Chain A
Amino acid sequence: MRLFYRLAALARALVGNARVDADLAEELRFHVQRETEANIARGLSPERAYRQARLTVGSVDAALETARDQRPGSLFRQLGRDMRFGTRLLAKSPAFALAGLTVVALGIGAVAAIFSVVYGVMLRPLPFRDPGRLVSIWWSRGPSTGLTRMYPSAADVIEWRQSTRAFAGIGLVRSSIQNMNLVGAGEPERVAGARVSSNLLPVLGVLPAIGRVFSPDAGQPGDERVVILSDAFWRRQFAGDPSIVGRSIQLNGAPYAVIGVMPPEFQYPSRDYQLWLPIVFNPRELTRELTENYAVVARLRPGVTFEQADAEMQAIAKRHAAEVHPTWRVVLEPVLENAVHDVRAPLDVLLAASFCLLLIACLNLSNLFGARAASRSAEYSLRLALGASRGRLVAQAIAEVVPILAVGGALGVAAANVGVRAFVAASPPGVPRLESVAVNTPVILLSLGMLVVTGLIASLTPAIQAWRSDFTAMTKEGGRAVTTGRRRADARRLGVALQIAFAVPLLVGACLLIRSSLALAGVELGFDPHGVESFHVAAPRSKYPTDADVAAYYDRLLARVRAIPGVTNAGMVNRLPLAGNQTMSIDVERAPGSIVEIDAVDSRPVTPDYFATLRIPLRAGRTFTSRDGAQASPVVIVDERLARTMWPGQSALGKRVRFTGGAWSTVIGVVGHIRATSVDEDPRPQVYWSHHQVTQDRMVLVMRGGGSAAALAEPVVDAIRSVDRDQPVYEVRGLESVVARSLVRRRLTTTLISSFGAIALILAAVGIYGVVAYGVTQRRREFGIRVALGATRGDVSRLVLREGASMALIGSTAGLVAAFALSGMMRNLVFGIAPRDVVSFFAATLTLLAVAVVSSYVPARRASTIDPAVTLRAE
């Protein structure tokens, strides 16, 4: 109860300050009135009675003042007053305030933005029940092959389900997208579906928001055509109508029963997937005659540790690998780990870089406020002399920092919010978990924490200076002292040197990445993406049941597209270069009787004109023709790398290649090698099959137009539709943008680190300039005397330049050591250069030193123009 009264009084005092004051005035007025009446009753004249009453009460204002200090929350009001005072002071020097705000906003903004991404991608728990108990299972062919995450097959999983005891359940997701053509009211639409095992949702521990999970028999004959919808798809396509569950929708020309709708946060395997369908196993998969790839996720049985499960799986896999693939090892990995392994390196680097930037910002701020406090030392002594306590001086020094932090921090977080949205929008598909990236509570909490730390660092110097001020400072520093207090100047120089030290690793990182980008830009792709437009299409099996139907349909499409005026070439491939992997293991007959298995080659079925369209040169032999049909003898085209390594010194033509275990195909042509996986990696040789002999439902039409291919996009889509009006055409893109997209992640990292480096450089420059220029103002007298005693102008400016250069040298030496130690982080990010690339280290250091000299040059010039007569007389 008492607590309540106290809190109520505190709240009243804090919220209604003006009202409380008015209340008190009213109360005192009443008091005076009653006293006056009493005095009149005692026989005084009204006038005297009033005066007497006023005297006994004392000055109303004095009472108000005293009463105010007695009211609860006076400490807060004190702070508020200091803050208002601080804000007023800042408003009087807008340039200083602006500098402070910019520094805080940059530092906090960078950390908040990068941490949002890091948190969303790497730290935020997956939206599954108890996600720490989920593991992914892979095959590895050993680290030396680069193939450490190979998809298991259905037969593997069935075997594991029977022989392991460590798992409560093992679920599968087919690695390839199941494209579904949705035919409904509007434009035909292609929807990405995932084929999942019927137990997948229970294994993940996620239930549909509406409806049910797959029955255990889903995917068996009679229970194949069921589908679960994503929340986004359900809202977009069916306006969030819950009665859709139990109804049928048309997919690939067949009715599918909708059995459930997932909650919005369920985006699995990624946000691209809109449908979940049961896996329909091909019986040949189960006998290992045919291999489909599956991502495997398993839930540990309660009480079983990750290590126990790993040990059990290793033992089992060893046994069964001995039968199937003797050199393979099984790999278990926590699901989150597996989801983010690709992006961990760049994100770690970005996070480190953003913290570097924040530290530089802190130091910069500390120096800014330190210099300001120094310039106020006379004011401090005056206040001290007039009776202010040192505590009050410190409070006022800090009170100036707080508004800068609050506003700057808010600006920074707001900027981070904008930046993160842009980052998410600009990111390529394939950055995992981007959907969960946002400036959210953990990010804001971290930013607040960072602000507090920044505030502590930034207030340190001004607070110490306020505390140390004494009565004599007014006369000493502001007056005739020839040099600045050593300690103070040293602290500021140290601050600048540290800023430079933190800037060096940032700049080195930026140089490394920029040099990597330059190296990448010089990479020969092996094909010419300029002027090529691509269109994804998919042939539904309900309409085109056999391979021959599909191939014939695609031939008709191509004929129609080639007929468009302006189209010079048109071909098809099942997957564009640099747009994901498409690998196979093949057998190569090096000589009669000598067969070599190659674990992984890039394998693509194409139409004859594909090579001409992409300008992939034909080195030998011929390309496919219409005669290489399904009934003709199987043929293959290999790239020059395969030809060279397998048949060195001989012609590859007429040699034989096959899918491992399949029928032999004859090499009829050799084409140029291209960058098919990524621009920065080139691990595999390439083989191409005739699309009549190896037919795929999903293909990409590539078209080269005479002038501008993009302008032909619409006629091409119309042409495709004219063959089959239900054909969805999706991901219409220039091939150049496909190439660019494959580099987007790297470019984002490069851009971010480079801008951090640039900001660090600017901050360092401002820091050096500030300290050197301040030093020059403080030493005017000294310089005046020096010049009067015979120093030349050159001597004076050299003195000043040396000060800037010495800070830069000390700082960059320390920074180089740090950068050298940190260079390991860059190992996975550099291309074409070593992580300890001498050029980058050298360039970064030189840039910093140059900036240091340039920033000291202006104050040095000013120092050299000091006229001793004027300076000495003025004082």
Chain B
Amino acid sequence: MPPLSLDKMIVLEVLQDEPMHGWGITERIERRSNGLLSVNQGSLYPALYRLVARGWVSSDWRTTENNRTARYYSLTRAGRKQLAAERAQWDKLSRGVNLILAGAER
């Protein structure tokens, strides 16, 4: 099974609609998962830097809606491609796991 990093996929997923700053990302993840997932903020920034370093995410400083400056992260083209790949992989994996779990129930 290929290694899979959920946090990477989730961050990419969250960024795909619009550029966001770090705090926005944590909030969005919590809201979208109905509070089921919470982000360890201490590891969010290292993860973001990793994504920037891989070239999947780019960052720039912008003004927020209430006039403060924050660093916004946005998906690059390579990031989008990567997201699609990760999603496909995830689909396959989760289908497989579901099938196995379903078989065990029977």
Interface string of B35-56 (1 = CB under 8 A from A): 0000011110111011011111
The smallest C-beta distance from B35 to any residue of chain A, in angstroms, reads 13
Given A30-B21, A67-B49, A2 contacting B55 (CB threshold 8 A): yes
B46 touches A58 (CB 8 A): no
B46 touches A1 (CB 8 A): no
**Residues of chain A within 8 A of B21, CB atoms compared:** 27, 30-31
B27 touches A63 (CB 8 A): no
The smallest C-beta distance from A28 to any residue of chain B, in angstroms, reads 7
The B interface, classified by DSSP as helix, strand, loop or mixed, is helix
Of B1-9, B11-19, B70-78, B90-98, which stretch is located at the interface?
Answer: B70-78
Expressed in whole angstroms, the Cα–Cα distance for A62 and B42 within the complex equals 8
- A35 part of interface (Cβ distance < 8 Å): yes
Expressed in whole angstroms, the Cα–Cα distance for A201 and B66 within the complex equals 79
The answer, among A5, A9, A27, A56, for a CB contact under 8 Å with B45, is A27
The smallest C-beta distance from A521 to any residue of chain B, in angstroms, reads 71
Expressed in whole angstroms, the Cα–Cα distance for A71 and B45 within the complex equals 10
Given A5-B55, A34-B23, A67 contacting B41 (CB threshold 8 A): no
B53 touches A31 (CB 8 A): no
B55 touches A67 (CB 8 A): no
Expressed in whole angstroms, the Cα–Cα distance for A33 and B64 within the complex equals 13
User: How many chain A residues have a CB neighbour from B under 8 Å?
Assistant: 31
The smallest C-beta distance from A220 to any residue of chain B, in angstroms, reads 74
Expressed in whole angstroms, the Cα–Cα distance for A496 and B2 within the complex equals 56
**Residues of chain A within 8 A of B71, CB atoms compared:** 23, 26-27, 30
Expressed in whole angstroms, the Cα–Cα distance for A72 and B68 within the complex equals 28
Enumerate A3-26 residues with CB–CB distance to B below 8 Å. 3-6, 9-10, 23-24, 26
Expressed in whole angstroms, the Cα–Cα distance for A58 and B43 within the complex equals 9
Given A1-B76, A5-B58, A5-B76, A56 contacting B41 (CB threshold 8 A): yes
The smallest C-beta distance from B28 to any residue of chain A, in angstroms, reads 12
The smallest C-beta distance from A12 to any residue of chain B, in angstroms, reads 9
B55 touches A66 (CB 8 A): no
A9 touches B52 (CB 8 A): yes
**Residues of chain A within 8 A of B40, CB atoms compared:** 58
Enumerate A34-78 residues with CB–CB distance to B below 8 Å. 34-35, 38, 56-59, 62-63, 66-67, 69-72
The answer, among A6, A24, A28, for a CB contact under 8 Å with B53, is A6
Given A27-B70, A27-B71, A31-B23, A63 contacting B52 (CB threshold 8 A): no
B23 touches A5 (CB 8 A): no
Expressed in whole angstroms, the Cα–Cα distance for A38 and B31 within the complex equals 13
Across chains A and B, the number of contacting residue pairs, with CB separation under 8 Å, is 77
The answer, among B46, B58, B69, B70, for a CB contact under 8 Å with A63, is B46
Given A3-B55, A23-B71, A31-B22, A71 contacting B49 (CB threshold 8 A): yes
The smallest C-beta distance from A850 to any residue of chain B, in angstroms, reads 62
Expressed in whole angstroms, the Cα–Cα distance for A38 and B52 within the complex equals 27
The answer, among A2, A4, A5, A27, for a CB contact under 8 Å with B22, is A27
**Residues of chain B within 8 A of A9, CB atoms compared:** 52-53, 55
A6 touches B54 (CB 8 A): yes
B55 touches A30 (CB 8 A): no
Given A31-B22, A71-B49, A2 contacting B76 (CB threshold 8 A): yes
The smallest C-beta distance from A38 to any residue of chain B, in angstroms, reads 7
Expressed in whole angstroms, the Cα–Cα distance for A2 and B54 within the complex equals 8
The smallest C-beta distance from A73 to any residue of chain B, in angstroms, reads 9
The answer, among A1, A3, A30, A72, for a CB contact under 8 Å with B70, is A30
The smallest C-beta distance from A153 to any residue of chain B, in angstroms, reads 75
Residue of A nearest to B71 (CB): A27
Given A1-B77, A56-B41, A38 contacting B53 (CB threshold 8 A): no
**Residues of chain B within 8 A of A62, CB atoms compared:** 42
A6 touches B55 (CB 8 A): yes
A66 touches B53 (CB 8 A): no
Expressed in whole angstroms, the Cα–Cα distance for A6 and B23 within the complex equals 24
Q: Which of B43, B45, B47, B76 has the most CB of A within 10 A?
A: B45
**Residues of chain B within 8 A of A5, CB atoms compared:** 52, 55, 58, 76, 78
**Residues of chain A within 8 A of B45, CB atoms compared:** 24, 27-28, 63, 66-67
Expressed in whole angstroms, the Cα–Cα distance for A30 and B58 within the complex equals 18
The smallest C-beta distance from A16 to any residue of chain B, in angstroms, reads 14
**Residues of chain A within 8 A of B70, CB atoms compared:** 27, 30
Expressed in whole angstroms, the Cα–Cα distance for A321 and B90 within the complex equals 92
Residue of A nearest to B51 (CB): A70
B42 touches A58 (CB 8 A): yes
11 interchain pairs, CB-CB under 8 A: A2-B76, A6-B54, A9-B55, A27-B22, A28-B45, A35-B41, A57-B41, A63-B42, A66-B45, A67-B46, A71-B49
Given contacts A10-B53, A63-B46, 10 further A-B contacts (CB under 8 A): A5-B78, A9-B53, A30-B21, A30-B22, A57-B41, A57-B42, A58-B41, A63-B42, A66-B45, A70-B49
